[in-house]
Amino acid sequence: MIFFMVPISKDYLEKLSVQELVHLIKIQNGSFENEFQKLDDDSELVSCTEAEQMEWLQNVQNLGKPKKLLIELLFKRAELLASIKKMKIEEDSFRNINQSKQSEEGPKSTLQEMATSSKTLIHEDVLQENVGF
């Protein structure tokens, strides 16, 4: 997953045209790997298909709805991206910790095996000496 996050102020976004905001949303889509979102009637972020998102964006443009909806969508998706990135970092950290624990346990078992096998060799040597007398 590609993470595309650039800090942009609401003041800056409010100066952009509706078409420019739609373009930013389409660029932001690349960060979601085939996941698309739009705002529902309660301004909640909901998952949708690409076609549904394009239809929603077209309706915002055609019906002259406020740019505020597009800006809100951009910010909610940025928050979602940030939480996804945080989860990915936590998963990677957890995975690295587990791998470290496994690699530490690996040499211990090898040392234990060596100790056991050396005892066996010593024991066999002692037996052979006793047989020779």
Could you give the CA distance from residue 26 to residue 65 in angstroms, rounded to a whole number? 18
User: Which residue in 56, 57, 36 sits closest to 47, CA to CA?
Assistant: 36
pLDDT score, position 81: 85
96-126, pLDDT tens digit by residue?
A: 887 777 766 655 555 556 555 555 444 555 4
Specify whether the CB–CB gap between 43 and 77 falls below 8 A. no
How many CB atoms are closer than 10 A to CB 52? Answer: 14
43-90, pLDDT tens digit by residue?
A: 899 999 999 999 999 998 888 888 899 999 998 988 888 888 888 888
Q: Mean pLDDT, to the nearest integer, of 20-49?
A: 88
Structure tokens at 100: 């470290």
pLDDT score, position 37: 92
Q: Where are the domains of the chain?
A: 10-106
Q: Mean pLDDT, to the nearest integer, of 32-53?
A: 89
How many CB atoms are closer than 10 A to CB 8? Answer: 14
Could you give the CA distance from residue 110 to residue 104 in angstroms, rounded to a whole number? 11
Q: If residue 45 lies in a helix (H) or strand (E), which one and from where to where?
A: strand 45-48
